Structure 1
C-alpha cells in the first residue's frame, strides 16, 4: 500500500473525531464573527484578503477555509480525505459560508482546479509533513497562482519536528527518500479516541529546502517569520498553553522555534 492510501485511511478515521473535538470547536462557528484559532493567529501577517480568489490546500475539516471565507476571500478547499470533506461541507453550510470543496491529492490540484486561477494559496499547520517532496509541492503552488499571486503558509518548524519526547533530536531535519513511519492509536486532539488505522507516513523538510523549492518554481520570498509557539501540544509534558490555544515550551520558550510563517509571490 502506498503512502497516500495509508495516510488517507488515517485521516478518514480522524475526521469525525476532530469534528466532535473541543480543539476544533465547530460549535463556535455558530457565532458569525468566529474565526479558527489558527487564522486568528495569522491575521497580523495575512492582512486583508477581501475579494481574493483563494485555495486552501490540504484543508482537512475546513475550519480555516471557512474562516478565510468569513474574512472576505472567495475560497476553494482541497483535501484527499472524503471523510474530512464531508465534515468541511457540513461546517460551511452551517456557517453560511460559500466554499467550494474538492477531493484530490494536493499534487493533482492544478489539473483539478485549473492553472493560474488563484490570488492566494493558503496552507495551514500540519500540511507539509505529509508530502514526500517539498519542491514538487512548490511547483503546484506556483501552478495554481496567477502572476503576482501570493502564497501564505504557517507550518511546524522543521527543528521542532526533529524532537522526541526527551527534547532531543530523533527525526531527520532534512527531507529523506524514505518516510518516517509511525504507529499511533490516537490523535493530537488528545480526547482519548482510538483508531484502527494507526500507521502514518510523513517527512520533514528543512527550511532551506522549502525556500529553495519555491524559488526554483518561480516564486519570490516576501516574508519569513519564526514563532516560539505551535497550536497543538507538540511535546507533551514540556509545553504550556496560553489563552489563544498556542503552546510553548514551559521552560525557556524562546529557546525553540516552533512554527514559521512563510510568504511568497509568483513572479510575473
Structure 2
C-alpha cells in the first residue's frame, strides 16, 4: 500500500475525526460530562497529570492545549487556577462539542479551529504553558515539526507539558490471541492505517474514513523537543496505563512494561 504524504495524512485524519464526532454524543459519558462541567472544581485530569501541572505551576498562567478534542481537559485547567485557556484542534465537529461544554461551565476558554501546522499569528509566543495529552502526537506524521509548532506558542521561559502513552506500548495488540507478544516493531516508521470510526472503548465501532496513526519512539520525541530549542527539564516513565481500559491488562506484570510517560521542557529566554 502506498503511504500518503504528510499533507494527505493530516487531511485524512481531520476528516476521520469530524466524521466520528457524532458517535461521542448522546452517550451516558457525554451526558455525565455535560452535567459535571458546571462545577467550578470540575477536572477530568488524573493524579499524574494533575500533580505535574501543579509542580509546573499554572495558577495565574496563560495555557494552551494543542489537539484539545472536546475541550474537557482544557476546562479542567481552570480548577488548577489557570488565568486563561485556549484549546486548539483541527476538528470543527469536536470544537462544537467543546463550546457546548464551555457554555455549561462557569469558565470562558477560547477554542481555535486550526491545523497545528498552520497556527494563526495571534497564538504565537503567547502562552506560559503548552499542554499535549494522550494520543495527540500519534496523528502527526513528523514529530519534530510538531514540536517546533508547539514551541512557537510559548513565551520565552514558557513550559511544554506532555502526558502521553509510552510508544513501547504501541508494539502490542490488546485484542491479539496472545496480547503479550509484540505485534509490531518499535521502530516502524510507516503509519498504521485505520479504516474504522474513532471511538472510545464501550462505543460501537463502525466503518469510517481512512486515518493514519504514527508511532514515534521516545528518542524521537525528546530529540524533536531539543531541536525545537526546548530544554528538557523532566522525563518520567510509569507502569500505569492512560489508554482505554482495554490496555489495563498490561499493568501489574511480573516483567512490567513502560505504559506512559510525562515530559516537561522549557523555551529559552530571548
Give the TM-score normalised by the residue count of structure 2.
Answer: 0.86
Q: Give the aligned partner of residue 33 of structure 1.
A: 41
Aligned length: 254
Q: 1:211 to 1:83 in 2, by over 3 A?
A: same
Aligned CA RMSD, in angstroms, stands at 2.2
In the alignment, the residues of structure 2 paired with residue 258 and residue 191 of structure 1 have an alpha-carbon distance, to the nearest angstrom, of 23
The 5-angstrom pairing of residues 89-128 of structure 1 reads: 89-109=99-119, 111-128=120-137
Q: Relative to structure 2, which stretch is displaced further, 45-54 or 15-24? A: 15-24
Unaligned residue ranges in structure 1 (runs of 5+): 240-246
* 1:163 paired to 2:167: no
* 1:227 paired to 2:238: yes
In the alignment, the residues of structure 2 paired with residue 253 and residue 46 of structure 1 have an alpha-carbon distance, to the nearest angstrom, of 31
Check whether the contact 2:166–2:259 (CA below 8 A) recurs between aligned residues.
yes
Q: What whole-Å deviation, never above 9, does each CA across 1:45-89 have from its counterpart, x for those lacking one?
A: 111311111110000000000001232211001101000000001
The 5-angstrom pairing of residues 111-260 of structure 1 reads: 111-164=120-173, 165=176, 166-174=179-187, 176=189, 178-185=190-197, 187-192=199-204, 194-233=205-244, 236=246, 239=247, 247=248, 249=250, 252=253, 255-260=256-261
* 1:43 paired to 2:50: yes
Give the TM-score normalised by the residue count of structure 1.
Answer: 0.86
Find runs of 4+ consecutive structure 1 residues off by over 6 angstroms.
none
Q: 1:148 to 1:214 in 2, by over 3 A?
A: same
Q: 1:190 to 1:232 in 2, by over 3 A?
A: farther
Q: Give the aligned partner of residue 87 of structure 1.
A: 97
